[in-house]
């Protein structure tokens, strides 16, 4: 790595990269910044800085209050354990308690609450005073115009409800500072010898250390996350509550990095002690630290970097000022001339700016669309019920990967057909292969079929079916302008199509050899591909007729996604079904809690659909298959009101996911894969996949589908060595299709003992199911 000094920002190309906002925090700062000091910090390359809200005078006043209170109680001979005795009340701030206040920069200063308060204390008086101080500071910072306030996190993570007490105080703080972001400063994990150094109120007043860091013991790297989880849970996943994550000296395992990745990171705080010196003596970060930071900076709204105790501190500033402005007269002269003092860039900032320039640029895909869709929730399309608009089709058509795979599949099918010398549906009339594109939209698949026919030298008779009368107009135009009238365009719902009539033999109804459709949703079958194909497959020739796609599978994985949970929680009043809707979303800030172990992969197949089905759809069953009428509906299906006609398209799965570390889940991520065509020869099938661990191999850069997300109404906490058992159903009542899901948690607590530790409700999307 080159030293920062050798790099020139102007020489860099202008490819878009993550933008690093850099803040300055000085843990020894005791008074708010003067305007001069703040300007000096900005001139050193920082974008913003933190400020304490109150000063040492206030701190001393609180300490004195507590001490004299105890003393006077003693003098009065009062029983301290009597809960009914009034405790001390911290009176409101005066101008002696703070230098902070409304001013030019106040909105860009980040307020930092007094680190000496002890909201966790088991001493009710200490805890009460701490809450009062917190509320005084939050209220005053709100008044002054702060937009972001950092509260130092709890000092310890262990039990006795200390963290719950802390969390309850923060919850009230969100109400006291009702329009401000509250950011909890948490270490990534409790790294030994990296505890908060500021003395707590308990220590200041000489109480037995309610905030002792505790004896050193085996490090459990998840305790800090546990505390954060408790805090945000008690605060109901408030939208204004964030984390300032302290980067540790030693970068932890990926599983912990991934856990925090899903949390609402507002700042990454990086202390001077994290930096190394490079050979030239400049501060730099280890490769692991660089990678950690890089991974957290690729969000649409990446966290800001808050550098702690890297200077310039107040002393350095004073010295600097003394150099620059030897006299007041000169200083005011400099100001008058609007002369900007030339402050050298802070070396830590220089390094971070170098790091910024060395970030991997965003891909074209990222910048054009994907970034803006991170974790953004969409209702799934209902293409069967609604007519899509041209712009929607255009988005779909913009994915070359998908259509290339389709063309490849069609071409392979045509070659197979020829090589195997199969009879076509048309044999006896002419030998053209009959191809139908059902649900042709604006025709991208029609184009690909024509290309495949040309490239393979196959003569075909091509039908394009479309139910959307608006797209139909477009198809007619395409046929004239682009396809040389080679296509028979039919305006019909594919389920009501009469089949390909042989030209010149109008009384004969022929069959289709290759049926091409693109009806798949993010979960495969969720846009009713099975029901639609049921309705047309009677026109497929037997026994050789081919459906492209030939099969598709749905896949699941449980995930933690606190941001989406918070989003849904805020919607549920207006959208009561928000937690029982499968949402299409580019899942990004998520944590896959399940680990891959033998027999239990991280992504597991829920079920499969394949086409054509060996027997036709149920109401054709008897006729086509010659079976007895006793199998035929009407009967009573599995669901209320159904006759069982679509029961063969129900599915059920029971999957077990293994979670070695404790955590929480907010729902299930859903994906699909599809075999578009599997050559008869057993050669490699043509596939598409949106599975995170398969997409690069099977259909790299395909962007037509985001994953689907099945939420849980309540976050589900689970201990280490838990197996999450997911039951999911695809249900139907002959008029619509919906999903149901339930999760149970079982923890292994010994080689033979597995305890049930939790259960979700049964969730159902029946209310928002897909009609057909």
Query: Which residues inside 102-141 make contact with a copy of itself, applying CB under 8 A?
Result: 124, 127-128, 131-132, 135-136, 139
Active site includes 527?
yes
* 70 in contact with a copy of itself (CB under 8 A): no
| SS3 of 248-261 | CCCCCCHHHHHHHH
Enter the DSSP assignment of 521: B
Task: Please answer whether residues 190 and 260 qualify as being in contact, where contact means their C-beta atoms are separated by less than 8 angstroms.
Answer: no
Task: Please list every residue from 5 through 34 that binds a copy of itself, using CB under 8 A.
Answer: none
Report the nearest approach of a copy of itself to the CB of residue 229 (Å). 9
* 79 in contact with a copy of itself (CB under 8 A): yes
Interface with a copy of itself (CB under 8 A), residue from 652, 696, 701, 771: 652
- CA 322-323-327 angle, to 5 degrees, is 55
Contact range with a copy of itself by CB under 8 A, out of 41-49, 233-241, 382-390, 398-406: 233-241
Q: How far apart are the first and last CA of the chain?
A: 60
Interface with a copy of itself (CB under 8 A), residue from 8, 76, 484, 507: 76
Is residue 372 exposed (0-12), middle (13-18) or buried (19+ Cβ within 10 Å)? exposed
What b-and-e string marks burial along 739-758, b requiring 16 or more CB atoms within 10 Å of the CB? Answer: bbbbbbbbbbeeeeeeeeeb
Contact range with a copy of itself by CB under 8 A, out of 34-42, 159-167, 199-207, 675-683: 159-167
* 767 in contact with a copy of itself (CB under 8 A): no
> Binding string, 690-729, against a copy of itself, x = CB under 8 A?
------------------------x--xxxx----x-x-x
Interface with a copy of itself (CB under 8 A), residue from 10, 11, 14, 159: 159
Q: Distances from the Cα of 5 to the Cαs of 274, 282, 283, 290, in angstroms? A: 20, 9, 11, 18
DSSP alpha helix (H) spans, 538-614: 562-571
Interface with a copy of itself (CB under 8 A), residue from 32, 230, 284, 359: 230
* 614 in contact with a copy of itself (CB under 8 A): yes
Nearest to 187 by CA among 154, 232, 219: 154
Report the nearest approach of a copy of itself to the CB of residue 661 (Å). 12
Interface with a copy of itself (CB under 8 A), residue from 289, 539, 602, 617: 617
Q: Distances from the Cα of 758 to the Cαs of 522, 560, 626, 717, in angstroms? A: 29, 16, 49, 8
Nearer to a copy of itself, 6 or 573 (CB): 573
Cβ-proximal residues to 301 (8 Å cutoff; 6+ apart), any chain: none
Task: Please list every residue from 164 through 203 that binds a copy of itself, using CB under 8 A.
Answer: 164-165, 167-169, 171-172, 175-176
* 756 in contact with a copy of itself (CB under 8 A): yes
Task: Please answer whether residues 703 and 672 qualify as being in contact, where contact means their C-beta atoms are separated by less than 8 angstroms.
Answer: no
Task: Please answer whether residues 433 and 417 qualify as being in contact, where contact means their C-beta atoms are separated by less than 8 angstroms.
Answer: yes
Cβ-proximal residues to 333 (8 Å cutoff; 6+ apart), any chain: none
Nearer to a copy of itself, 515 or 702 (CB): 515
Using CA atoms, how far apart are residues 523 and 672, in angstroms rounded to an integer? 5
DSSP alpha helix (H) spans, 457-526: 469-481
Q: Peptide bond preceding 612: is omega within 30 degrees of 0, i.e. cis?
A: yes
Interface with a copy of itself (CB under 8 A), residue from 348, 603, 609, 672: 609
> Binding string, 533-562, against a copy of itself, x = CB under 8 A?
------------------------------
Report the nearest approach of a copy of itself to the CB of residue 612 (Å). 9
Nearest to 230 by CA among 174, 153, 177: 153
Report the nearest approach of a copy of itself to the CB of residue 309 (Å). 31
**Neighbour count for residue 43 (Cβ, 10 Å):** 17
Using CA atoms, how far apart are residues 341 and 593, in angstroms rounded to an integer? 52
Nearer to a copy of itself, 14 or 640 (CB): 640
Using CA atoms, how far apart are residues 489 and 478, in angstroms rounded to an integer? 10
Cβ-proximal residues to 218 (8 Å cutoff; 6+ apart), any chain: none
Report the nearest approach of a copy of itself to the CB of residue 325 (Å). 40
Interface with a copy of itself (CB under 8 A), residue from 7, 42, 63, 65: 65
Using CA atoms, how far apart are residues 410 and 453, in angstroms rounded to an integer? 8
> Binding string, 428-467, against a copy of itself, x = CB under 8 A?
----------------------------------------
Q: Among positive and negative, which fits the CA dihedral 503, 504, 509, 513?
A: negative
For residue 164, which phi and psi values (nearest 5 degrees)?
Answer: -65, -40
* 149 in contact with a copy of itself (CB under 8 A): no
Is residue 185 exposed (0-12), middle (13-18) or buried (19+ Cβ within 10 Å)? buried
Nearer to a copy of itself, 654 or 700 (CB): 654
Task: Please list every residue from 632 through 651 that binds a copy of itself, using CB under 8 A.
Answer: 632-640, 643-645, 647-651
Using CA atoms, how far apart are residues 538 and 534, in angstroms rounded to an integer? 8
Nearer to a copy of itself, 251 or 568 (CB): 568
Using DSSP, state whether 125 is helix, strand or coil: helix
Report the nearest approach of a copy of itself to the CB of residue 415 (Å). 26
* 232 in contact with a copy of itself (CB under 8 A): no
Report the nearest approach of a copy of itself to the CB of residue 713 (Å). 8
Report the nearest approach of a copy of itself to the CB of residue 507 (Å). 31
* 607 in contact with a copy of itself (CB under 8 A): yes
Task: Please list every residue from 658 through 687 that binds a copy of itself, using CB under 8 A.
Answer: 662
* 314 in contact with a copy of itself (CB under 8 A): no
Nearer to a copy of itself, 547 or 585 (CB): 547
Using CA atoms, how far apart are residues 728 and 260, in angstroms rounded to an integer? 28
* 88 in contact with a copy of itself (CB under 8 A): yes
* 217 in contact with a copy of itself (CB under 8 A): no
Nearest to 526 by CA among 378, 405, 367, 645: 378
Report the nearest approach of a copy of itself to the CB of residue 761 (Å). 7
Using CA atoms, how far apart are residues 253 and 342, in angstroms rounded to an integer? 42
Interface with a copy of itself (CB under 8 A), residue from 215, 630, 700, 752: 630
Interface with a copy of itself (CB under 8 A), residue from 627, 681, 696, 735: 627
Nearer to a copy of itself, 517 or 649 (CB): 649
Nearer to a copy of itself, 134 or 371 (CB): 134
Contact range with a copy of itself by CB under 8 A, out of 374-382, 434-442, 607-615, 697-705: 607-615
Which residue ranges make up the annotated binding site? 393, 402-403, 466, 493-494
Nearer to a copy of itself, 37 or 131 (CB): 131
Which residue ranges make up the annotated binding site for S-adenosyl-L-methionine? 393, 402-403, 466, 493-494
Give the β-pairing of 22-25 and 48-52: parallel
* 759 in contact with a copy of itself (CB under 8 A): yes
Q: Which of 263, 356, 518, 580 is catalytic?
A: 518
Using CA atoms, how far apart are residues 693 and 289, in angstroms rounded to an integer? 25
In which residue are the tokens 């042989």 written? 502
* 610 in contact with a copy of itself (CB under 8 A): yes
Number of residues that bind a copy of itself (CB under 8 A): 103
Q: Which of 207, 356, 527, 687 is catalytic?
A: 527
Contact range with a copy of itself by CB under 8 A, out of 46-54, 386-394, 402-410, 631-639: 631-639
* 611 in contact with a copy of itself (CB under 8 A): yes
Task: Please answer whether residues 754 and 368 qualify as being in contact, where contact means their C-beta atoms are separated by less than 8 angstroms.
Answer: no
Using CA atoms, how far apart are residues 584 and 672, in angstroms rounded to an integer? 12
Q: Which residues are catalytic?
A: 518, 527
């Amino acid at each position: 790595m080159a030293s920062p000094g050798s790099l020139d920002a102007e020489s860099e190309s202008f490819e878009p990269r993550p933008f690093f906002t850099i803040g300055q925090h000085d843990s020894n700062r005791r008074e708010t910044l003067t305007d001069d000091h703040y300007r000096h910090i900005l001139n050193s390359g920082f974008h913003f800085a933190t400020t304490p809200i109150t000063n040492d005078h206030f701190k001393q006043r609180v300490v004195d209050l507590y001490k004299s209170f105890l003393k006077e109680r003693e003098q009065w001979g009062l029983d301290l354990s009597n809960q009914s005795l009034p405790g001390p009340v911290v009176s409101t701030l005066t101008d002696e308690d703070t230098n902070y206040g409304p001013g030019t920069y106040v909105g860009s200063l980040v307020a930092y609450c007094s680190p000496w308060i002890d909201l966790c204390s088991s001493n009710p008086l200490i805890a009460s005073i701490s809450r009062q101080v917190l509320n005084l500071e939050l209220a005053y910072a709100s008044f002054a115009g702060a937009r972001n306030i950092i509260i130092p996190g709890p000092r310890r993570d262990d039990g006795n409800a200390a963290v719950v007490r802390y969390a309850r105080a923060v919850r009230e703080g969100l109400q006291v500072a009702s329009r401000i972001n509250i950011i909890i400063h948490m270490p990534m994990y409790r790294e030994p010898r990296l505890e908060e150094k500021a003395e707590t109120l308990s220590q200041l007043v000489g109480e037995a250390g309610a905030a002792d860091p505790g004896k050193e013991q085996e490090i459990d790297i998840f305790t800090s996350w546990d505390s954060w989880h408790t805090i945000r849970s008690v605060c109901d996943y408030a939208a204004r509550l964030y984390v300032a994550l302290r980067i540790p000296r030693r970068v932890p395992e990926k599983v912990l990095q991934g856990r925090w990745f899903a949390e609402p990171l507002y700042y990454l705080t990086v202390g001077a002690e994290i930096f190394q010196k490079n050979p030239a003596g400049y501060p730099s970060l280890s490769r692991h630290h660089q990678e950690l930071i890089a991974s957290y900076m690729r969000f649409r709204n990446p966290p800001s970097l808050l550098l702690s105790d890297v200077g310039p501190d107040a002393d350095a500033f004073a010295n600097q000022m003394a150099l620059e402005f030897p006299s007041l007269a000169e200083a005011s002269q400099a100001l008058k001339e609007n002369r900007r003092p030339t402050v050298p860039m802070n070396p830590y900032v220089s390094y971070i700016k170098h790091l910024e320039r060395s970030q991997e640029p965003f891909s074209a895909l990222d910048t054009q669309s994907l970034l803006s869709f991170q974790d953004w929730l969409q209702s799934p399309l209902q293409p069967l019920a609604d007519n899509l608009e041209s712009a929607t089709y255009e988005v779909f058509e913009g994915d070359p990967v998908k259509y290339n795979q389709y063309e490849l599949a069609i071409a392979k099918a045509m070659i197979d057909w020829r090589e195997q010398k199969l009879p076509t549906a048309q044999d006896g009339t002419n030998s053209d292969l009959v191809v139908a594109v059902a649900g042709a939209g604006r025709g991208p698949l029609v184009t690909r079929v024509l290309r495949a026919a040309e490239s393979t030298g196959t003569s075909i008779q091509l039908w394009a079916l479309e139910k959307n009368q608006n797209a139909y107009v477009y198809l007619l135009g395409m046929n004239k302008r682009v396809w040389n009238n080679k296509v028979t365009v039919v305006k019909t719902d594919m389920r009501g199509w009469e089949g390909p009539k042989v030209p010149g033999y109008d009384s004969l109804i022929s069959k289709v050899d290759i049926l091409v459709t693109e009806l798949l949703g993010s979960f495969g079958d969720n846009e009713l591909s099975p029901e639609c194909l049921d309705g047309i497959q009677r026109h497929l020739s037997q026994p050789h007729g081919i459906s492209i796609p030939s099969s598709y599978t749905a896949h699941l994985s449980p995930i933690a996604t606190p941001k989406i949970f918070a989003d849904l929680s805020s919607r549920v009043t207006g959208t009561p079904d928000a937690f029982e809707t499968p949402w299409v979303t580019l899942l990004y800030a998520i944590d896959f809690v399940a680990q891959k172990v033998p027999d239990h992969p991280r992504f597991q197949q829920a079920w499969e659909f394949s086409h054509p089905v060996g027997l036709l759809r149920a109401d054709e069953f008897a006729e086509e298959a010659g079976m007895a009428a006793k199998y035929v509906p009407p009967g009573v299906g599995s669901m209320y009101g159904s006759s069982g006609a679509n029961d063969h398209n129900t599915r059920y799965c029971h999957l077990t996911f293994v979670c070695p570390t404790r955590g929480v889940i907010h729902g299930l991520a859903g994906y699909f894969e599809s075999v578009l065509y599997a050559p008869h020869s057993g050669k490699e099938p043509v596939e598409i996949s949106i599975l995170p661990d398969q997409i690069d191999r099977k259909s790299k850069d395909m962007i037509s589908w985001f994953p689907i997300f099945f939420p849980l109404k309540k976050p589900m906490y689970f201990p280490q060595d838990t197996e999450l058992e997911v039951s999911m159903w695809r249900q139907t009542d002959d008029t619509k299709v919906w999903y149901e899901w339930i999760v149970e948690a079982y923890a292994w607590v010994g080689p033979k003992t597995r305890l049930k530790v939790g259960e979700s409700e049964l969730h159902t999307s029946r209310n928002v199911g897909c009609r057909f």
